[in-house]
Structure 1
Amino acid sequence: MKSRIIYGPILSRRLGRSLGIDIIKKREFRKNCNFDCVYCQLGHVDWKISTPSDVTDPVTTEEVIDGITNYHKKVDDLDYITFSGTCEPTLNLELGNMIEQIRQISDIPICVITNSSLVNRKDVRENLSKADLVVATLVSGNEKTFQAINRPAGGIELQDIIEGLRELQKMKGPKVAIEVMLLDSTNDYPVNSSDEEVGKLIEVLRYIDPDEIEILTTSRPPAEDFIIPVPETRLKEIAQKFDEELGRERVRLVLKGLKRKRSNIKHENLVDEVYDLILRRPCTFEQVVQSLDIGKEELAPILEGLVGEQKIIEILSENGTYYRPT
C-alpha cells in the first residue's frame, strides 16, 4: 500500500485539527529519522539519516503543493497545516520553499514539528523561520541523558541544539514552542523527570527563552517497553516549578483526554486515509473516529482488514488498544 504525502487530519492535544505533511519518502524503510527515541510512538528506526545529504529521494515542493491543493479543501475546520510524520522534516531542505508556496494557496497557519537535531544549521533555521509555529523537542539539559533518550545519529550533540534553538528564537520569525517530553522508567534507565534533570532543563530553557514551553508525557506505546508515563501528580509538580522559574504565561501542561466536536470531511478512499493516519500517528479506535470523522461501523471492518493484511498491528497499553504500522 502506497502512503501519501498528505495525511489526516489529526486531532492533536496541542494543535487542534491538523493536516499533516510527510516530506521524506519511505521506500524500503517504514520510518526515517536521525533520532531513535526510546519513547517514539512509531517504534525503532531501521536506518538513521544523519544529514540532509543522506536523503536520497526527498519529496518535492511540487508534490506537496499538488497534495495540499487536492486535499485541504475537503476539510472545513483545520487549525494548522503541519510538517511532521514518519521523518524529521528539516532533513528536507526544500521545507522553506514548501511553506512559502503553501501560503500562496492557503491562509491556514503552518507548523513544523522538529526534533531540533539540525537547528545548529543556518539553512535549517532559515527554513523554520518561514513557519507560523515551530514545535521543537528538548528532553534534557544534560548530554548523557539526551543521548540516552533520543539516541541520535553520530555527530549530533546537545550543545549544538541548545545554541541553535537560541538562535532560532532570536530570529523573531515564528512562534517557538519547546516540547519537553517527560519520561519515567521501570528500571534505572536515564530519564528526565528527576529534580536534578528538571533543574537543568529550567536552566537551559531560560537561556533559550522560547515563547512557549509545553510539558507532557508519553501517552502512546513507546519504542521501549521499560519507558512509562510520568504520573499526573508529578507532571503537575514539575509544571508548577516551571511556572515559578520561567513564567506561568508561557508554560503549558498538556494532558491527555482531548475531546472536540466532529469536523466535516469529504472522503475519497477511507482505507487509504485510515492507513495514512496510523502510519504517522498510532491511534486508538476512538481517536481514528474523531480525527477522520467516520462512523464506528465504517471503521471496524477497515481496521480488521488492515490487521489481516499485516499492515498494522494492535498494541495494548494502559491508555487502551493502539493501532501501529507494522
Structure 2
Amino acid sequence: MKTRIIYGPILSRRLGRSLGIDVIKNSETKKNCNFDCVYCQLGHVDYKIADPKDVKGAVSAKEVIEGIRSYHRNIDDLDYITFSGTCEPTLNSDLGKMIKGVKDVSKHPVCVITNSSLVDKEDVRTNIAGADMVVATLVSGYEETFKAINRPAEGIELENIITGLQAIMNMEKRPKLGIEVMLVDSTIDFPINCTDKEIGRLIEVLMEINPDEIEILTVSRPPAENYIISVSEKRLKEIASRFDEVFGKERVKLVLKGLKRKRSRMKHENTEEEVYDLILRRPCTFKQISASLGIDEQTLKPIIDKLISAKSIIESEDANDKYYKAS
C-alpha cells in the first residue's frame, strides 16, 4: 500500500494531538534508525544506519513542506507538528530546512523527537535549532546499560550524547529541551534502568545537562523484545518523587498510560490510507485509531478487517490490550 510521509494526528501522552512527519521512506525496512531499542514499538531490525550518508530514501524538504501545506488544514484541533515516525529524524541532513519550511506554512509549534544519537554533531544541533521543542531520549547514565537497552550502531557512545545534550542547552538560539527517560523492567536477567543505582546516576547526568523538562515514562505498547515489560505505576511514582526533589515538580512530568481525549475533528481524504499510515508508525488499539483520526467505530471496523485480510497489518496483544501494527 502507498504510504505518505505525513501521518496522524496521533494522540500523544506528551504532546497532545500531534501530526507526524516521517523523513525517511525506505520501503526495504520497517524502521530507519541507528538504534535497535529493546522497547521499540516498531519491533526489531537487523540493519542499523551508521551514518546519515548511508540513508536510503531520504525525504526532501520540498516534499515535507508541500505535504504539510495541504494536510494540516484538514485538522481543526492540532497541538504539534512532530518529526518522528519510522526513523530517527536527525539522520536526514535536510531537517533544518524542513523545520523552517513547516513553520513558514503553519502556525503550529514544531517538535523533533530524537534518540539523541547525533546531538554531539554541530550540524545536527544547527538543524534542530529552529524547532520549538526537542524531546531527546536518555535511558541511562551508564554505558553498559545504554548499549543493552538502545543497542546503538557502532561508534555511538553515551559520553558523546551527554556532551551533545549539554551543548544544546548552551546554544544561543535553541529549542526547549525535554529529556525522555524511558524506563524498562524485564522478565529475565537484563540490565534494567529502574533500579535505585540507575536512577541515582541518571539524576547526576541530568543535573549536568540541566534540561528544561524531564519526562518519566515506561513501555505502553508491545516492545521489540518479549522479555521487556513496563515498570509498575507504583515504582514510576517513587522514581518521579526522587526527580521532583532534585529538579522541582514544575520540570518533571510523569507520563502515565491511559490518556483520554476527545475524537479528532478531521476532514478525511482517503480513510484507509490514513489508518494504515498511522498504524505503520505507531501500533494502536482500535479505540486509539478511532480517537486519533476521528473515525467512528462502525466505519473503522471494515477498514481494519480489510487491512488484516490484505496482510497489511496484524494483531498483537500485550497483557491488557489488542494492538494493530504493520506486518
Query: Match for 1:265: what amino acid?
Result: M
Residue 319 of structure 1: how far off its partner (Å): 2.8
Per-residue Cα deviation, 1:239-269 (whole angstroms, up to 9, x for no partner): 0001112222201100011111222100011
In structure 1, what is the Cα distance between the partners aligned to 2:82 and 2:193? 27
In structure 1, what is the Cα distance between the partners aligned to 2:157 and 2:244? 28
> What value does the CA root-mean-square deviation take over the aligned residues?
0.8
Residue 47 of structure 1: how far off its partner (Å): 1.5
For residue 77 of structure 2, what is the aligned residue in structure 1?
77
Query: Match for 2:136: what amino acid?
Result: A
SS at match of 1:104: helix
SS at match of 2:221: coil
For residue 125 of structure 1, what is the aligned residue in structure 2?
125
For residue 320 of structure 2, what is the aligned residue in structure 1?
319
Number of residues of Structure 1 aligned to a counterpart in Structure 2: 326
SS at match of 1:275: helix
In structure 2, what is the Cα distance between the partners aligned to 1:57 and 1:40? 21
Query: Match for 1:127: what amino acid?
Result: N
In structure 1, what is the Cα distance between the partners aligned to 2:189 and 2:138? 21
For residue 176 of structure 2, what is the aligned residue in structure 1?
175
Residue 27 of structure 1: how far off its partner (Å): 2.3
SS at match of 1:72: helix
Query: Match for 1:201: what amino acid?
Result: L
Gaps of 5+ in 1: none
Per-residue Cα deviation, 1:249-297 (whole angstroms, up to 9, x for no partner): 2011000111112221000111100000000000000000000000101
CA contact (8 A) 2:263 2:290 kept: no
Residue 129 of structure 1: how far off its partner (Å): 1.1
CA contact (8 A) 2:30 2:42 kept: no
- The question of 1:103 aligning with 2:103 is answered yes
Q: Provide the identity percentage.
A: 65
For residue 248 of structure 2, what is the aligned residue in structure 1?
247
In structure 1, what is the Cα distance between the partners aligned to 2:61 and 2:225? 35
Query: Match for 1:77: what amino acid?
Result: D
CA contact (8 A) 1:84 1:112 kept: yes
In structure 1, what is the Cα distance between the partners aligned to 2:200 and 2:102? 40
Residue 310 of structure 1: how far off its partner (Å): 1.0
SS at match of 2:20: strand
Q: With structure 2 as the length reference, what TM-score do the two structures score?
A: 0.98
For residue 288 of structure 1, what is the aligned residue in structure 2?
289
In structure 2, what is the Cα distance between the partners aligned to 1:58 and 1:46? 19
Question: Which contiguous aligned blocks of 4+ residues in structure 1 show a shift greater than 2 angstroms?
Answer: none
CA contact (8 A) 1:134 1:176 kept: yes
Residue 57 of structure 1: how far off its partner (Å): 2.5
Equivalent residues in 2 for 1:296-307, closer than 5 Å: 296-307=297-308
For residue 227 of structure 2, what is the aligned residue in structure 1?
226
- Using the TM superposition, name which of 278-287 and 302-311 deviates more: 302-311
CA contact (8 A) 1:220 1:319 kept: no
CA contact (8 A) 2:117 2:156 kept: yes
In structure 1, what is the Cα distance between the partners aligned to 2:129 and 2:97? 11
Query: Match for 1:102: what amino acid?
Result: V
Q: With structure 1 as the length reference, what TM-score do the two structures score?
A: 0.99
In structure 2, what is the Cα distance between the partners aligned to 1:14 and 1:128? 19
Residue 181 of structure 1: how far off its partner (Å): 0.4
CA contact (8 A) 1:31 1:46 kept: no
CA contact (8 A) 1:219 1:319 kept: no
